[in-house]
Homo-oligomer: A and B are copies of this chain.
Amino acid sequence: MSHTLVVGSVALDTIETPFGRVEEVPGGSAVHFSAAASVFGPVRVVGVVGPDYPDDALGFLRERDVDLEGLRQRDGRSFRWSGVYDYDLNARETLSTELGVFSDFRAEIPDSYRDSEWIFLGNIDPRLQLEVLEQIDDPRLVAADTMNYWIENEREALLRVVERVDLLTVNDAEVRELSGDHNLARAARWILDRGPEQVVVKKGEHGAILFGSESVFFAPGFPLEEVFDPTGAGDAFAGGLLGRLARGGEMDAGAFRRAVVHGCAMGSFACEEFGVDGLARVQWEDVARRVLDFQSMTSFDHEIQPPDETTDPLRSERGREAEASP
């Protein structure tokens, strides 16, 4: 079984939404990613925490074949984030960010991780993302995420990352800011011209678009009736995407489409409960059911009649059936 590797933050999140509040629950990009990817197969985590990080907080990951050897403990406080969402859950306000041990995080990849094949560079300093790539032997796929802070403050290093990855996962605001183009299709092409074979633009409740050099694939957001907490949905999306790719082992166009839908499914589970609770409870049967829901939500039949001498270029199926009978 080929391994998925994530490098990213491991945090304690305090989250308030109109539906409730949780304090110091496990969070961060590496946690949300591995919670999602581990539904599909083994995951390796590289990150850092302080001695104050609760021992049992990541127990649910260990139970799922997530290797935490690369999660180092350093003296200092663990990374803490707190934020509040307003009623529409699309806009959030960060109340506090306490980097703690994460502020001088070095991405040290354990030797036992060097043969990892599916790499996710979570939203960290692009200079660290580049360091990770130096420490991996022969990855099959490298995907990276980023955020507005790095686009604005480490643009040059970020563009070097873009040149070296196979897949970039960014949200719509980020791809617009990075490319300087408001039009999503052109913005995605701007990225593709710089190296990656694929770009996934995450649009939250509106789904995700996979742009490749020759095709575009659109996966909708799942129309949840109850959204509790969107924290980590983007990382859960990436976890579903890479987890499914690793599980299937294929990298053709169809495999990427399937993987994006699995990403959307994992993103939707992430929103249904606070913190990682939604992902921690998900079984593969739930994923399979939701993917089938996605398929039934997006499929339609359309037979198109070629133009002919008669007057009716878009005849109904009924019309054609009648014609076909003797």
Task: Write the A283-294 contact mask toward B (1 if CB under 8 angstroms, else 0).
Answer: 011011001100
Residues in chain B near residue A315, CB distance under 8 A: 247
One digit per residue, 1 when the CB lies within 8 angstroms of any chain B CB and 0 when it does not, for chain A 172-188 equals 00000000001111100
**A97 interfacial contact with B, CB 8 Å:** no
B317 and A227 contact, CB distance less than 8 A: no
- Chain A 79-123 interface 0/1 with B at a Cβ cutoff of 8 Å (1 = within): 000000001100000000000000000000000000000000000
Question: What per-residue 1/0 map shows which CB atoms of A37-69 lie under 8 Å from chain B?
Answer: 000100000000000000000000000000000
A277 to B190, CA, bound (A): 29
Look across to chain B and name the residue whose beta carbon is closest to the beta carbon of A224. B185
7 sample A-B contacts, Cβ–Cβ < 8 Å, listed by A number: A183-B225, A217-B297, A217-B300, A218-B298, A248-B314, A250-B316, A257-B299
Which residue of B182, B203, B288, B314 contacts A206 across the interface (Cβ within 8 Å)? B203
Does A254 lie within 8 Å of B300, measured CB to CB? yes
Docked complex Cα distance between A272 and B302 (Å): 24
Give the chain B neighbours of A244 by CB distance below 8 A.
Answer: 314
**Bound CA span A163–B227, Å:** 29
CB of A209 within 8 A of chain B?
yes
- Identical subunits present: 2
Given contacts A207-B220, A223-B184, A298-B298, is CB(A314)–CB(B247) below 8 Å? Answer: yes
Known: A40-B314, A223-B185, A225-B185. A258 touches B300 (CB 8 A): yes
Given A183-B224, A284-B314, A288-B304, 8 more pairs with CB closer than 8 A: A40-B314, A87-B182, A88-B182, A185-B225, A206-B207, A211-B223, A218-B223, A299-B299
Q: Are A258 and B298 in contact (CB under 8 A)?
A: no
Interface assignment of A296: CB less than 8 Å from any CB of chain B: yes
Docked CA distance A207–B223 (Å): 13
What residues of chain B lie closer than 8 Å to A76, measured between beta carbons?
none
CA distance A297 to B212 in the complex (A): 11
Smallest Cβ distance from A11 to chain B, in angstroms? 28
Contact A307/B285 with A227-B183, A247-B316 known, Cβ cut-off 8 Å:
yes
Interface band, chain A: 35 or more
Cα of A215 to Cα of B205 in the assembled complex, Å: 18
Minimum CB–CB distance from A114 to chain B (whole Å) comes to: 24
Which residues of B sit under 8 angstroms from A193, Cβ to Cβ? none
Q: Are B209 and A258 in contact (CB under 8 A)?
A: no
Q: How far is the CB of A145 from chain B (nearest CB, A)?
A: 21
Q: How far is the CA of A182 from the CA of B89 in the complex (A)?
A: 10
Closest to A288 in B: B304
**Within 8 Å of chain B (Cβ to Cβ): is A22?**
no
Q: Are A314 and B288 in contact (CB under 8 A)?
A: yes
In the bound complex, do residue B292 and residue A304 qualify as a contact, i.e. CB atoms below 8 Å apart? Answer: yes
- Given A40-B314, A223-B209, A225-B185, does the pair A300, B296 have CB atoms closer than 8 Å? no
Q: Complex: how many Å from CA A304 to CA B297?
A: 17
Inter-chain contact A317/B185, CB cutoff 8 Å: no
The contact string, 1 if C-beta is below 8 Å from chain B, for chain A 186-227, is 100100000000000001011101010001111110011111
- In order of increasing CB-CB distance, the 8 nearest A-B pairs are A218-B220, A257-B300, A248-B316, A206-B206, A185-B223, A288-B304, A185-B225, A298-B298
